[in-house]
A and B are shown apart, each in its own frame.
Chain A
């Protein structure tokens, strides 16, 4: 099983809403990632978790709050987002957070902030 699943597939939210994105993998990977991909742009790294601990935060605004409740799950909590936060949010995982490790990507959650 080389699958990373993400829910929901699509999400529309207002600027005052609180919502969460979920990501799950059952490959035994110990590193998990959140990326943001704007239209016609490459994915940009937001957060990295390694062994359930936050390893990298790419200076992401606090309205995005990641959480790794266990080694298979990764959440991204959203609050008070802005319209410019509308994008495709990708989750990925790899065996470890090491160079050379292949990252496996999920299908993404397409987020629209009104």
Chain B
């Protein structure tokens, strides 16, 4: 079946640094990818919808200058957390939608900001 990978799976960084998270669809082309943020035992929060070749659409309350999204190809989207702070520590999950409109989730990236 379709597989979506994320890299890295776990990252620890110092406050003020930037972190890039990659999301790849391994065996299908994804014109649309989604980025979610999850706090423990809580619902996923949709951060943005990323369409290949165009600017991402951010949800209300999500700072586009802080969470930079680049969907450079049909198989790769990246999320960069700029000037990360401890409150950005969370679990970030991407998903990719194929041509049949089926959504596949990545395994997630756990970000810890010290």
Q: Do A and B bind each other?
A: no
Residues of A in contact with B (beta carbons under 8 Å apart): none
